[in-house]
Copies of this chain bind each other. A is one copy, B any other.
Amino acid sequence: MSKPQVELLGISNAIVDVLCHVEPEFVSQFGNPPGSMTLIDRDDAERIYDMMGPATESAGGSVANSVACFASLGGEAAYIGRVAEDQLGRIFNHDMASLDVDVRLPEETRAAPTARCHVLITPDGERTMQTFLGACTEIAETDVTVDTVGAPKLLLMEGYVWDTPEGPAAMQAAITHTRAARGRVALSLSDSFCVERHHEAFLALAEGDADLVIGNEGEVRALFGGDDLDTVRGRAAASGKLVVMTRHEHGSEVFQGKEHVVQAADTVDRVVDSTGAGDAWVAGFLFGVARGYALRDATALATQCATLALSQIGARPQPSALAALVSD
């Protein structure tokens, strides 16, 4: 029996964030550019953790953050992501279920440990990420069936899943089941390096099965190419898809054929923590899309969600604060 229809089904790498404040030298010793996300193996994860200072743990992951925020806004949401039956896996699934997100994969007993992302925060606020994918790498095509996908109005796929062995096949299955149920398909580009790693696949999606393509300026540029921003804009518009391009303090732009929405960012007195601001933006935007808002109104709600995320600590703003945005 299929799961009931939800407004949003997210499929992504299910990750617990391990946040630690470090000095710039701590980051530079690994040779990864500040702000980047690097995949590491279990031994390196242990090694980095041993070197790290005291940390704070909380459920994270880009699309998972968006799904959590979407549910906090009052949207009906479901989630597919692979965690192990360990304490971090329990934390991840708890935090989703506590927001009434329908968690469609149970914790897996035989899996590698639940994924974690070591988020190294330098005094300038930059975050450099070292991710051990663990159980995420075990997501299989057989996890993504007509039963687990159900009939979502919107499917949100995370680009990072293409980094896992069966991720591309699993995503194709998700697309097939969503399309069969007349749902729409959104691709989150994840990061510009991820777009470079999977450029052919992502471009094929943008020209084919994806109805929405979501990314920040760097990611959209990496996908469509273009030396200057107007060229990128032109190609996004020419794709014929609903293309979202977030631009941090420069606001956001949405393209759909001839429609071009430009939304300024809110003035934020003090950015407390930028983590998850983009993910919250996506949640607000997709909530508007799912509820049939005009693009301008969906973009405005998205911006309010991002502003809220900037004013709070952590990747996922307080559910009550998000709910208040749509209760007026």
* Copies of this protein, total: 2
**Whole-angstrom CA separation of A59 from B53 in the bound complex:** 12
Task: Give the nearest-CB partner of A98 in chain B.
Answer: B53
Say if the beta carbon of A211 comes within 8 Å of chain B. Answer: no
A146 at interface by CB-CB < 8 Å: no
Query: Quick check: is A58 within 8 A (CB to CB) of the other chain?
Result: yes
Interface 0/1 of A144-172, CB less than 8 Å to B: 00000000000000000000000000000
Contact of A98 among B52, B59, B94, B319 (CB under 8 A): B52
Convert A223-266 into 0s and 1s, putting 1 for each residue whose CB lies closer than 8 angstroms to a CB of B: 00000000000000000000000000000000000000000000
Find A54's partner among B49, B54, B313, B316 (CB 8 Å cutoff): B316
Q: Which of A84-92, A135-143, A288-296 contacts B (4 or more CB under 8 A)?
A: A84-92
**Given contact pairs A21-B318, A313-B313, A318-B21, A53 touches B99 in the complex (Cβ within 8 A):** yes
Please tell me if A267 contacts chain B, counting CB pairs below 8 Å.
no
| A57 with B91, Cβ < 8 A, contacts A52-B98, A98-B52, A313-B313 known | yes
Is A81 interfacial (CB 8 A cutoff)? Answer: no
- A68 near B: Cβ within 8 Å? yes
Residues of B contacting A53 in the complex (Cβ-Cβ under 8 angstroms):
95, 98-99, 319
Contacts of A49 in B (CB 8 A): 94
A54 and B21 contacting across the interface, CB-CB below 8 Å: no
Contact A58:B57 (CB < 8 A) given known A86-B87, A98-B52: yes
User: Does A29 touch B at the CB level, under 8 Å?
Assistant: no
Tell me which of A49, A55, A57, A316 has the highest count of chain B C-beta atoms within 10 A of its own C-beta.
A57
A327 located at the interface, meaning its Cβ lies under 8 Å from any Cβ of chain B in the complex: no
Q: Which residues of B contact A313 (CB under 8 A)?
A: 313
Interface positions, chain A 77-117, Cβ under 8 Å from B, are: 86-88, 91, 94-95, 98-99, 113
- The closest CB in chain B to the CB of A99 belongs to B54
Bound-complex Cα distance A195 to B213 (A): 60
Not counting A54-B95, A86-B86, a sample of 14 additional A-B residue pairs whose C-beta atoms are within 8 angstroms of each other reads A21-B318, A23-B320, A50-B98, A53-B98, A54-B58, A54-B68, A54-B99, A54-B316, A55-B94, A56-B57, A56-B58, A56-B314, A57-B57, A313-B313
